[in-house]
Amino acid sequence: MATDPHALFEDWLAEARTSEPNDPTAMALATADAQGRPSVRMVLLKGHDARGFVFYSNLDSRKGGELAANPNAALLFHWKSLRRQVRVEGPVEPVSDVEADAYFASRARESQLGAWASDQSRPLDRREIFEARYAEMAARFDGGEVPRPPRWSGWRVMPERIEFWSDRAFRLHERRLFTRAGEGWSEGLLYP
């Protein structure tokens, strides 16, 4: 039976959870603008299943603007403790409001208030301005539930290509490439 790359990813992530000093779910997210100019930053993986890889952010952030103009992304996990990397590529779709609400509700209150206070990716004149906005939001939602900000949500990268890379001695690395084939996957190897 062919290997399921999603199951293989879960195995590798489980190993990374035990060996990484912090943030085993951290991944580099590459996006590109309408002209194809790339940009990359770290985000945290907040959901994974057969549909894809989910992360959350501000819809008006730089990444949000780029994904609106060009709804394709690449992800990279690098687990140094395991000497492994996983590369994921594919189109993105917005997560549902229900999914975003559920994740937002699970976050620490301070993170929820931070999402309201941050005008993500916009220039900030002084740190104190951000702190004042945070205090304003803390007062606004005092004691009550903090709802998900209207411009804060998530995306799902729906993989068409997933590569598992393992370090081997003398740079004779192993590269297993899975490419979407209809409902399933085809698997092959790449030269290192």
Ligand X SMILES: Cc1cc2nc3c(=O)[nH]c(=O)nc-3n(C[C@H](O)[C@H](O)[C@H](O)COP(=O)(O)O)c2cc1C
User: Annotated catalytic sites, by residue?
Assistant: 171
Instruction: Write b or e for each residue in 15-47: b if 16 or more Cβ atoms lie within 10 A of its Cβ, otherwise e.
Output: ebeeebeeebbbbebbbbeeeeeeeeeebebbb
Q: Nearer to ligand X by C-beta: 27 or 162? A: 27
Q: Is 44 in the site for ligand X (CB under 6 A)?
A: yes
Which DSSP state fits 23? -
Q: Is 124 in the site for ligand X (CB under 6 A)?
A: no
| Selected range binding ligand X among 2-10, 42-50, 76-84, 101-109, rule: CB under 6 A | 42-50
Q: Nearer to ligand X by C-beta: 17 or 41? A: 41
The DSSP line for 83-125 is TEEEEEEEEEEEPPHHHHHHHHHHS-HHHHHHHHH--TTS--S
Q: Is 62 in the site for ligand X (CB under 6 A)?
A: yes
Q: Is 109 in the site for ligand X (CB under 6 A)?
A: no
Specify the 3-state DSSP secondary structure of 142: coil
Q: Is the dihedral of CA 122, 22, 55, 52 positive or negative?
A: positive
| Selected range binding ligand X among 56-64, 86-94, 101-109, 184-192, rule: CB under 6 A | 56-64
Q: Is 55 in the site for ligand X (CB under 6 A)?
A: yes
Q: Is 80 in the site for ligand X (CB under 6 A)?
A: no
Q: Is 48 in the site for ligand X (CB under 6 A)?
A: no
Q: Which candidate, 10, 12, 28, places its Cα nearest to that of 73?
A: 28
Residues that bind ligand X (CB under 6 A): 23, 26, 39, 41-44, 55-57, 61-63, 120-121
